[in-house]
Amino acid sequence: MTNFVDYLLGGFSNGAVIALMALAIVLVWRSTRMVNFAQVGQAMFTTYVALTIQQSTGSWILALVVAMAAGLVLGIVVFFLVIRPVKNSDSTGAIIATFGVLIALQAGAGMIWGGDPQGFLTPVDNSGIEFAGRIWPISLYDVLVLVVTAALVIGLTLLFTKTNLGLSMRAAAFNPEVARLSGVRVNRMLITGWAIAGATGAVGGVLIAPVSTISPNSFDILLVFAFTAAVIGGLDSLIGAVTFGIGTGLVISLVSGYSDSGNAPIVALILLALNLLLKPDGVFGHHGARSV
C-alpha cells in the first residue's frame, strides 16, 4: 500500500507536464480544428532556448519567461507560415505539414545545440521531502511544477470564462462564420490560440527538462502521452486535458513502479486505442468533435 501511495504521488508532477502539453494540443484544436504534431517539438525548441538563458544568466525565472515568449512567437510563426495557407484546402496536407515542422525543428535543434542529452538545473531542491519521519516521493521541485501548472490552468480558465478575448476565442472556435458576422476577428483569435498553445507547451518543456534530460528527440514520448490525454479528454475540453493529463501521469507512474518504465508507452497506446474504440469523442468531448 505504501508503494501504491508512493507511486501515485510520484506521478503528479509528471502528470502536470503531460497536462500542459495536452492543454497546448487542445488549445490548437479549439482554434483550428487540427492536431499540431509539432507542438512538443516547439516545446523542445523553446526549452533549449531556456537552457541557453539559464546557462548564461543562471536565472530559472528568466529562462521560463523567455521560453514562454519564444513559445508564443514560435506558435505564431508556425501558424502564419505553415498552417494558415493550408488548413482549409488540404486536411491531409495540414497533418503532414505539422510533421514537417516537427522534423525541421528537431534537426534545427540538433544543429544548434547538438544531439547529446543535456541537463537542466532545478531552481529548488529536487530530492524527496522528509516529513513525518519518512522521505516522500515528492520534492520541492515537484511542488513548484504543480503550483506553476495550477496557476497556468487557472489563468487560462479565467481567460476563457471571464474576459472578452476568451469569449471571442470560444465564439470563433464554436462557429467561425457566426462569430465573424458578430464582429469577432476570427483570424486573430486563431493566432491567439496558437500563440497561447505555444507558450503553454513551452512552460511544460521547461518544467519537465530538469526531471528528464533535454535532447532533440527526448520529448517524442511526451507527444504520445499528451496526445493520449488530450484525446481521452475529448480534444476540445480544457478540463479534460488537465484531468487526463494528470491521470496519464499517474498511470505511467504506477506502471513504471510495478513493472518497468519501458512499458509506459505500451500502456499509453492501449489506453488510446481503447478510448478511440469505445468512446471516440472522449470523456469530456462534445459529440462530433471527432469529425474533422
Partner 1 sequence: MKTLRSFPGNRIIWHAIIVGVVWLLLLLLNNNIDPLYSSYLALVAMYATAMFGMTILVGLSGQVSLGNGALMAVGGYVFALTSMNWQTVPFFGWEWNAIWSMVFAGLGGVLIGGIIGGLAARLKGPYLAGLTLGVAVGVPAITNRFPELLGGENGLMLTVPYPAGGYAALDAGGEVATDEGGDAAVDIETDAGATGEDQQYAELDLSEFDQGTDPLAEEDLLTEDDLLTEDDLLTEDDLLTEDDLLTEDDLLTEDDFGAGGDLGIDENVVDPTEDPGVDGAGLDGTDIAGGGFIDGFDSEFIIERWQASMAIAVACIVAFAALNLVRGRQGRVWKAVRDDPVAAAVVGISPSGSKVSAFVVSSLFAALAGAVFAQILSFIGPGAFGLGLSLSLLVGIVLGGRASLLGAIIGALLLVWLPELVDGLSGERGWPEQITNNAPNLLYGLLVVAVVLLAPGGITGTFKSWIDKAKGRGRATLS
Binding positions for partner 1, rule: CB under 8 A: 34-35, 37, 81-82, 85-86, 90-97, 99-108, 110-111, 114-115, 117, 208, 211-218, 220-221, 223-224, 227-228, 231, 256, 260-266, 268-269, 272-273, 276-277, 280, 290-292
Give the span between the Cα atoms of 211 and 62, in whole angstroms: 19
C-beta of 94 vs 246, nearer to partner 1: 94
CB contact at 8 A, 242 and 281: no
What's the grid cell of residue 67? 521560453
Closest CA to 148 of 259, 63, 250: 63
* Residue in the block written with cell 475529448: 234
Question: Minimum distance between the CB of residue 179 and partner 1, rounded to whole angstroms?
Answer: 23
Q: Do you know the residue count of the chain?
A: 292
Question: Minimum distance between the CB of residue 155 and partner 1, rounded to whole angstroms?
Answer: 27
Task: Identify each DSSP E strand in the chain by its residue range.
Answer: 128-131, 134-139
C-beta of 66 vs 231, nearer to partner 1: 231
Give the span between the Cα atoms of 113 and 91, in whole angstroms: 33
Question: Minimum distance between the CB of residue 13 and partner 1, rounded to whole angstroms?
Answer: 13
Give the span between the Cα atoms of 179 and 188, in whole angstroms: 12
C-beta of 184 vs 236, nearer to partner 1: 236
C-beta of 221 vs 239, nearer to partner 1: 221
C-beta of 18 vs 171, nearer to partner 1: 18
Kindly list the distances between the CA atom of residue 163 and the CA atoms of 24, 129, 157, 170, 194, in Å, as whole numbers in the listed order. Answer: 19, 39, 10, 11, 18
Question: Minimum distance between the CB of residue 85 and partner 1, rounded to whole angstroms?
Answer: 5
Question: Minimum distance between the CB of residue 265 and partner 1, rounded to whole angstroms?
Answer: 4
What's the grid cell of residue 17? 507536464
C-beta of 144 vs 223, nearer to partner 1: 223
Question: Minimum distance between the CB of residue 109 and partner 1, rounded to whole angstroms?
Answer: 8
Which uninterrupted H or E stretch holds 131?
Answer: strand 128-131
